[in-house]
Amino acid sequence: MKHRVSALAALSAELFAVGIATCYTATNSWFGAGDLPAMVVWSLPLVLLVYFSFRTATRVMTSSPDVLRYLVLPMIGAMLGIITTVLASLILRGWIMAFSFPVLICWVVAGLSAGVVAAWLTSPKSWAAAIALTTLIIFALVRVNLYAQAPEPRLRVVLASGLSSNEVNRFWQEVIGSPDSHPGEHALLDGISGAGVADYENGSPVIVVSLNKHLRADRRDVILAKIRQSPLVRSASLMSDQSDSPSDSH
């Protein structure tokens, strides 16, 4: 019985990992679908970890209450997903970033789901709890996916006409940046993730300033007001059209 539970939980981990990656590529017009076969292979360590770990865990928790199994087994599965990611990172190094989907999320959620499957298999009458927990996991996964795909808020800034190169540099260093610890260098203001020249308007650079996704509205308004107040700036506004893309980042 314990071998069957751990084997089915391990199989579900593989199915969930590849399934989540497939759904992610499907929502991105199948960009990165060529990475799915590699995901099948690189998810095998998670399968083995789930199988051997759950053999022991389900045996130890044979007489435990259902609530405890539904708490502990998914947590173990999530940890195994993190371990799988670490192992893959050590082997692949920077190449792990070549995957077109977030493998950490795929493996952690797959481990969580495998834990739910194992908890349900050890107590089939607890199917209602399994459905409720699986629904919660799916809901959280959808929210994470929506957040990951949401574009950063961006500002469209048009510099004043006739600026010298020194004045343009002052915009980068004093308006959207601040002096760095190293002489001659600057860092972007807190809340700004990047900036670049996207176009020119009547000879003046049009700069797109990207803001952090988690930036609060009041902090965004402070940054926007600071930019608008600068004599180096002709206009600045929050972008609603995300079509412009910077060609030169700073």
What does the pLDDT read at residue 241? 52
Token representation of residue 199: 């176009």
Contact call for residues 128 and 75 (beta carbons, < 8 A): no
What does the pLDDT read at residue 193? 86
What does the pLDDT read at residue 21? 93
What does the pLDDT read at residue 182? 64
pLDDT tens digits, one per residue of 60-98: 888 888 889 899 999 999 999 999 999 999 999 888 888
What does the pLDDT read at residue 181? 62
Note down pLDDT in tens along the chain; length 250 residues. 557 899 999 999 999 999 999 998 998 889 889 999 999 999 999 999 999 999 999 888 888 888 898 999 999 999 999 999 999 999 998 888 889 888 999 999 999 999 999 999 988 888 888 888 888 888 888 777 666 666 788 999 999 998 998 898 889 988 998 876 665 567 888 889 888 888 898 889 999 999 888 888 888 999 999 999 999 999 999 887 544 444 444 4
CA angle centred on 161, ends 159 and 162, rounded to 5°: 120
Residue type, 10: A
Architecture in CATH of 154-249: 2-Layer Sandwich (3.30)
pTM: 0.64
Q: What is the DSSP string of 129-168?
A: HHHHHHHHHHHHHHHHHHHHHSPPPEEEEEEPTT--HHHH
What is the distance between the alpha carbons of residues 39 and 101, in angstroms, rounded to a whole number? Answer: 10
What does the pLDDT read at residue 180? 66
Domain ranges (residues) in the chain: 2-149, 154-249
What is the distance between the alpha carbons of residues 249 and 208, in angstroms, rounded to a whole number? Answer: 9
119 CB-near residues (< 8 Å, 6+ apart) = 66, 69, 70, 73, 74, 126, 129, 130
